[in-house]
């Protein structure tokens, strides 16, 4: 695969679409309809994605090497020691994209002097992160987009 590139602010609309598609296409078996819609709609509300793109470092997994390639998955470190976003379109999941993004983001973090990464994982991402060597530190309940969610604080040593 190996079709990664750096994200930039111009990618905002496309990554918001990936974000919403990922939640709607993959989270329905794990969350209530209310949770799925609150989470998916969050991509289009507020400045969270803009701030992550401006302050963080991100990578996109592309559909092809052509100039009109679409973003199929993306991940963002914000700050450099925290995985803040990791999303993949439903049509492109289970192709190794998230694993490749995690490896690339881990390399960016190591170059930035980090010895470990941290994140807050959803029910959707926790199994993937566990397979990638992450460890659960604690379970917590949070209010996100006006709806209660359970998530897990996780770490990975680099």
What CATH code is carried by the domain that includes residue 25? 3.40.630.30
Helix 12-26 vs helix 33-42: crossing angle, to nearest 10: 170
The predicted model gives 44-70 an average pLDDT of 84
Residue 20 counted as domain residue: yes
The predicted model gives 96-106 an average pLDDT of 96
Task: Look at the chain and report how many structural domains it folds into.
Answer: 1
Residue 44 counted as domain residue: yes
The predicted model gives 5-32 an average pLDDT of 93
Three-class SS of residue 114?
coil
Query: CB count, 10 Å around CB of 128?
Result: 16
- Quote the pLDDT of residue 46: 64
- Quote the pLDDT of residue 2: 63
Q: What is the pTM of this model?
A: 0.92
Contacts of 47 (CB under 8 A, 6+ apart): none
Residue 142 counted as domain residue: no
What range does the domain containing 98 cover?
A: 4-114
The C-alpha atoms of residue 139 and residue 18 are separated, in whole angstroms, by 26
């Amino acid at each position: 695969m190996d079709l990664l590139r750096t994200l930039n602010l111009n990618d905002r609309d496309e990554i918001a679409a990936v974000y919403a598609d990922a939640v709607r296409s993959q989270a329905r078996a794990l969350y209530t309809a209310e949770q799925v819609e609150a989470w998916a709609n969050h991509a289009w509300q507020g400045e969270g994605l803009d701030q992550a793109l401006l302050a963080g470092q991100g990578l996109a997994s592309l559909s092809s090497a052509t100039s009109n390639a679409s973003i199929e998955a993306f991940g963002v470190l914000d700050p450099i020691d925290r995985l803040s976003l990791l999303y993949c379109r439903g049509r492109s999941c289970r192709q190794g994209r998230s694993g490749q993004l995690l490896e690339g983001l881990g390399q960016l973090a190591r170059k930035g002097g980090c010895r470990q990464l941290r994140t807050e994982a959803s029910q959707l991402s926790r199994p993937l992160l566990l397979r990638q060597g992450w460890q659960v530190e604690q379970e917590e309940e949070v209010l996100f987009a006006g709806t209660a969610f359970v998530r897990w604080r996780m770490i990975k040593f680099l």
